[in-house]
Amino acid sequence: MQKSIHTERQERLRALLKAARKKAGLTQDELTERMGAYKTFVSKYERGERQLDVIEFIALAEALELDPKVVIDQLMQA
C-alpha cells in the first residue's frame, strides 16, 4: 500500500468533494465555517496538503448535505 497522501484514490476523493462544494455554491471559507473547522481546513485538503480522517470526512459530507456512503460508492466506482 502506498503511504503518500498523493494516491490516485486521494486525488479522486478531493475532486469529488471539491465538485460537491462548488455545486453547493459554497466557498472554501463558507464550508469551513459551516463545519466549525479551523480557517485553512478546506483549503489544505483540497490542495492535497493533508488527508481527511474518517470523522472529518463524515463532517465534511454532512456540511455539504451529502450521504457519506454515496460519496464512498462514487469513489469506489471511479
Residue 1 in any domain: the answer is no
Residue 2 in any domain: the answer is no
Residue 7 in any domain: the answer is no
The pLDDT tens digits of the residues spanning 43-52 come to 999 999 999 9
Query: C-alpha grid cell for residue 10?
Result: 486521494
Is 2:34 a contact under the CB 8 Å cutoff? Answer: no
pLDDT band at 72 (very low <50, low <70, confident <90, very high): very high
Residue 4 in any domain: the answer is no
Number of independent structural domains in the chain: 1
Region 8-19: what's the mean pLDDT? 93
The CATH number for 61's domain is 1.10.260.40
pLDDT attached to residue 26: 97
Domain that holds residue 21: 13-77
Residue 41 has pLDDT above 60, yes or no: yes
pLDDT band at 2 (very low <50, low <70, confident <90, very high): low
Q: State the pTM of this model.
A: 0.87
